[in-house]
Amino acid sequence: MAIDFYWRLPTHGCHSSLRTHDYDRGDWSPLRPGNIAPGPASDGGADQFAYIDHLSQIAKAAEGAGFLGGLIPSFPGTEDPWVISSLLARETSTFRFMLAFQPGFGNPVHSARAAASLQRLSGGRALFNIITGGGGPSQLWWGDSFSHDDRYGRTREWLDVFRGVWGGGSFDYDGRFYQVENAGLAPLLANEEFPEMWFSGSSDAALEVAARHADYYLSWLEPFDQLADKFDRVKERTARLGGEQKCAIRVDLVARPTEEEAWREVQIGFENVSEERRRTRTRGTDSVGAARQDALRPADATRYDDLIVAPNLWGGFNLLRGGPALGIVGSYEQCAERLDELIALGADGFILAGTPHLEEAWRVGEEVLPLLGQSGVALLQAAE
Ligand SMILES: Cc1cc2nc3c(=O)[nH]c(=O)nc-3n(C[C@H](O)[C@H](O)[C@H](O)COP(=O)(O)O)c2cc1C
């Protein structure tokens, strides 16, 4: 069975290494000597190498290194994934764009038309990471005051309508959140391939909607037994509806020639984190997935190795950069073995990431992916 490998595009800025905590790539931190995209110009301002130029380099590197495409995260402080995809589509040839999108932030018929346009104009390279919001302050920042489970109700209806209008024809829908009459994409757009839906969310409400609409159920990395249990639960629900569920994992790697070098990188990063930051917990979110990640990182950890959760699994990544806590640290061979184990427990796809995203796309593509399957499990589907 072919396994899909994607890379992540850091739409929130990037670090030149895990040792630094200010973003020195992109303009999310003050401009200093050594920053890039933009960097300092001789007149004291910023040079002309913009962050979109850097994202383009990452997309091209990932494309060249054998990844199918990239996840484009969406947060209040990032640029918009639809816009980024449209620009990068002209700079790449096979790279697929996985747009993180919160249904409900766009009318489903209008979104279907925009997605079909992106399919048509990019040669069928669009797909989605459906996210249903972490709640809390940032949900209100978007003007969204729906409760956690109502948001999933809306996501389900949104996906019903998005799918219903896709093939053209005349589609009617009378739901709680959406009513549509006689809708359907115009013939030119209706023939486009329906985009794959990668679906995130760890709550019961999320698993219920995933079972109906997800091509891939997507989770952050968790301890392997916990993850296997979650995959089994969503597979069971999909099977009850007569379908078969594929699963996927979003995970950061620190992959180095030796295990010692990989842990050394993490140790230096951890030792550069302030004590105050080490004690900080995720706040203001109703996300079950985020709570599961937080539980992996005790606030009283004083050494990097207090956060080793299992061989090659480290629970402190969200101290070094934003995002989930758990990731993989090890030699190239060990990283490939852990990925093989995840394939064996039911992963059909991965979104991998590493810092800095540009250089690590090449490293992981050249050094880790070719080792997959050598511990006895399945295979990479390379970009053609
Ligand atoms: C792989 C993955 C990627 C995510 N990407 C984003 C994102 O780009 N933007 C965002 O606001 N939330 C993102 N989230 C957070 C989810 O929106 C949020 O955790 C989830 O939908 C909350 O639902 P839950 O309570 O069911 O876990 C992501 C979650 C996962 C698992």
Can you give the residue ranges of every domain in the chain? 2-380
Q: Which one-letter amino acid corresponds to residue 379?
A: L
| Dist CA 165 CA 180 (whole Å) | 9
| Dist CA 240 CA 330 (whole Å) | 39
Atom of ligand 1 nearest to the CA of 203: 26
- Chain-centroid distance of CA 374 in Å reads 26
pLDDT tens digits for 260-297?
A: 999 999 999 999 998 888 887 666 677 888 888 788 87
CA-based end-to-end distance of the chain: 17
Taking CA atoms only, the protein residue closest to ligand 1 atom 20 is 201
Pick the CATH number of 2-380 from 1.10.540.10, 3.90.1300.10, 3.20.20.30, 3.40.50.11740: 3.20.20.30
Residue of 200, 213, 294, 326 with the most ligand 1 atoms within 8 Å of its CB, for mutation: 200
Question: Does the beta carbon of 134 lie inside 6 Å of ligand 1?
Answer: yes
- In this structure, are residues 71 and 100 in contact, taking their beta carbons and an 8 Å threshold? yes
pLDDT interval class at 153 (50, 70, 90): very high
pLDDT interval class at 379 (50, 70, 90): very low
For residue 143, the CA-to-ligand 1 centroid distance in Å is 17
Tell me which residue of 69, 140, 134, 65 sits closest to 349, measured CA to CA.
Answer: 69
Question: Does the beta carbon of 327 lie inside 6 Å of ligand 1?
Answer: no
Residue of 78, 287, 326, 351 with the most ligand 1 atoms within 8 Å of its CB, for mutation: 287
Question: What single DSSP character describes residue 196?
Answer: P
Predicted pLDDT of residue 382: 42
Question: What single DSSP character describes residue 177?
Answer: S
For residue 157, the CA-to-ligand 1 centroid distance in Å is 18
Atom of ligand 1 nearest to the CA of 100: 8
Predicted pLDDT of residue 62: 98
Q: Which residues pair with 330 in a beta bridge?
A: 255
Query: Given the structure tokens 């346009």, which residue do they identify?
Result: 117
Tell me which residue of 192, 204, 200 sits closest to 250, measured CA to CA.
Answer: 200
pLDDT interval class at 377 (50, 70, 90): very low
Quick one: what percent of the chain has pLDDT higher than 90?
Answer: 84
Average pLDDT (7-30) is 94
Q: Which residues pair with 349 in a beta bridge?
A: 4, 248
| Dist CA 215 CA 98 (whole Å) | 13
Question: Does the beta carbon of 131 lie inside 6 Å of ligand 1?
Answer: yes
For residue 146, the CA-to-ligand 1 centroid distance in Å is 16
Query: Given the structure tokens 């005051």, which residue do they identify?
Result: 145
**Residue 337 in tokens:** 């073995």
Tell me which residue of 229, 227, 247, 373 sits closest to 309, measured CA to CA.
Answer: 227
pLDDT at 374 over 80: yes
Residue 112 Cα distances to 69, 193, 216, angstroms: 21, 12, 19
Question: In the 3-class helix/strand/coil scheme, how is 285-315 assigned residue by residue?
Answer: CCCHHHHHHHCCCCCCCCCHHHHEEECCEEC
Whether the upstream peptide bond of residue 81 has omega within 30° of 0, thus cis, is no
3-state secondary structure of 285: coil
pLDDT at 11 over 50: yes
Average pLDDT (187-212) is 95
pLDDT tens digits for 352-371?
A: 999 999 999 999 999 999 99
pLDDT tens digits for 222-270?
A: 999 999 999 999 999 999 999 999 999 999 999 999 999 999 999 999 9
